[in-house]
Homo-oligomer: A and B are copies of this chain.
Amino acid sequence: MESKIAAYSGKAVQERLEWLGQFGSEPNGGVSRLLYSKEWMEAQQSLKKLFADEGLTVQFDEIGNLFGRLEGTTYQDETILTGSHVDTVKNGGLYDGQYGIIAGFLALKYLQEKYGAPLRNLEVVSMAEEEGSRFPYSFWGSKNIIGQANPEDVKGIKDFDGVSFNDAIHQAGFDYKENPMKVRDDVKSFIEIHVEQGNVLETEGKSVGIVQHIVGQRRYTVTVNGQANHAGTTPMGYRKDAMNAASRMVCAINDLAVAEGDPLVATVGKMILEPNTVNVVPGKATFTIDIRHTEKDALVNFTNEVEAKLREIAERTGVVIDIAMWMDEDPVPMDPNIVRVIQEQCEKNNLDYKMMHSGAGHDSQIIAPAIPTAMIFVPSHNGISHSPDEYTNPEHLAEGVNALICALYELGYKE
């Protein structure tokens, strides 16, 4: 099956990514482009020039989101927005975030060249920040777009060098007023294209994913208090071994998750023992749980089931358990109409797609409650992300741009 549109070669998309990836490039091939850094400013200014050179109307908002606009001829108070974030994690890859900007730009360029001006405005956005890598704050770009960023929340925060958030934004040259930004009411749809950051598409041999939900998450810290004892002089029957108890909890969490089945995932990613010494029975184990699902009820039911199971194991192993939930984010559904448009276009154009969910967080989850939103994924080789080893096959990059073009054409050029 070959797709019916061939807007760009894989090489053409790849070259644009490499161009943008030079701003903040690291000797090891990674990219570090932290919010309001010199590299970040170079990237945004270079994108501004690129957009302008291709005839887009360019504009920064007051916090540094960059917009490039193709004016509509008929419905000038209606805008179809696409794009993603320009910031990276420290030593990240060439695709996360910036692929959504390059793909949006290339889509607008292709549509303009092939079909001229759209009926509705088409805009690409290079959002200021999503990763939370410089300051302890995430989604600064998208939260400002929908007026959900509270200036009080960033006022006191500092980066690792002690630079305050407000100093950083002013030093970058933005006229930040420390008031919530005025929200635009013309944006009718948002489509973000992004690398999957998982290995589902690759494993199933698909080029494009159409996201129906972004998962909700609950995160916990579990503290298991047993009793530290001498590893040689304490018979097995006299122990309250926090590592033994915690291990039984980890096994139970995994068994419950496997039994529940997709799309539920549960992860114990962090485990800290005390005193963590070869010859002492661990007195304390602290571990995290990260649980995600696309449906809120299922997420709540599963986490309740896990909590009950952990308490039962604690009871049985004679340890004292504390279960603290510190993140509780609801799942976010994508807009069914835009999802349907993308799916129809993928069908019509022979794009090899899969309906799926996003297990990772994205700007789209911030924007979706305010603006009808959808996401398109392309495969991530081995699911690797937030690493210089992040890689997407150029053919998949081009196929993603094709899917975006088809969707934007439907939304921007049709009555």
- Contacts from A to B (Cβ < 8 Å): 196-200, 203, 215, 217, 219, 229-238, 241, 243-244, 246-248, 250-251, 254, 257-258, 261-273, 275-282, 288, 290, 292, 358-361, 383, 385
Q: Once the chains bind, are B257 and A251 in contact (CB under 8 Å)?
A: no
Residues of B with C-beta under 8 A to A234: 198-199, 265, 359, 383
Residues of B with C-beta under 8 A to A257: 236
Q: Once the chains bind, are B265 and A270 in contact (CB under 8 Å)?
A: no
Give which listed residue, B247, B273, B275, B385, contacts A247 with CB less than 8 A: B247
9 contacts between A and B (CB under 8 A): A197-B232, A198-B232, A198-B235, A219-B278, A235-B262, A236-B254, A267-B279, A271-B271, A278-B288
Decide yes or no: A244 and B271 within 8 Å by CB, A230-B198, A359-B230 being known contacts: no
Q: Once the chains bind, are A198 and B233 in contact (CB under 8 Å)?
A: yes
Q: Once the chains bind, are B244 and A250 in contact (CB under 8 Å)?
A: yes
Q: Please tell me how many copies of the chain the complex holds.
A: 2
Residues of B with C-beta under 8 A to A279: 219, 267, 269, 290
Residues of B with C-beta under 8 A to A268: 243-244, 247, 282
Give CA–CA (A270, B288) in the complex, Å: 17
Q: Once the chains bind, are B269 and A282 in contact (CB under 8 Å)?
A: yes
- Name the CB-closest residue of B to A255: B244
Q: Once the chains bind, are A358 and B247 in contact (CB under 8 Å)?
A: no
Decide yes or no: A232 and B215 within 8 Å by CB, A269-B280, A271-B273 being known contacts: yes
Expressed in whole angstroms, the minimum distance between the Cβ of A216 and any Cβ of chain B is 11
Expressed in whole angstroms, the minimum distance between the Cβ of A276 and any Cβ of chain B is 5
Give CA–CA (A292, B233) in the complex, Å: 9
Give CA–CA (A292, B234) in the complex, Å: 11
- Name the CB-closest residue of B to A246: B247
Q: Once the chains bind, are A278 and B273 in contact (CB under 8 Å)?
A: no
Q: Once the chains bind, are B235 and A200 in contact (CB under 8 Å)?
A: yes
Decide yes or no: A197 and B277 within 8 Å by CB, A250-B244, A250-B247 being known contacts: no
Residues of B with C-beta under 8 A to A237: 258, 262
Expressed in whole angstroms, the minimum distance between the Cβ of A115 and any Cβ of chain B is 35
Give CA–CA (A385, B360) in the complex, Å: 47
Q: Once the chains bind, are A270 and B273 in contact (CB under 8 Å)?
A: yes
Residues of B with C-beta under 8 A to A230: 197-198, 359-360, 383, 385
Expressed in whole angstroms, the minimum distance between the Cβ of A292 and any Cβ of chain B is 5
Expressed in whole angstroms, the minimum distance between the Cβ of A114 and any Cβ of chain B is 34
The 4 closest A-B CB pairs, nearest first, are A198-B233, A232-B359, A247-B250, A231-B267
- Name the CB-closest residue of B to A196: B233
Give which listed residue, B231, B251, B360, contacts A233 with CB less than 8 A: B360
Give CA–CA (A234, B276) in the complex, Å: 29
Q: Once the chains bind, are A277 and B270 in contact (CB under 8 Å)?
A: yes
Give which listed residue, B203, B231, B251, B292, contacts A269 with CB less than 8 A: B231
Q: Once the chains bind, are B232 and A254 in contact (CB under 8 Å)?
A: no
Give which listed residue, B236, B248, B262, contacts A262 with CB less than 8 A: B236
Q: Once the chains bind, are A238 and B199 in contact (CB under 8 Å)?
A: yes
Residues of B with C-beta under 8 A to A198: 229-230, 232-235
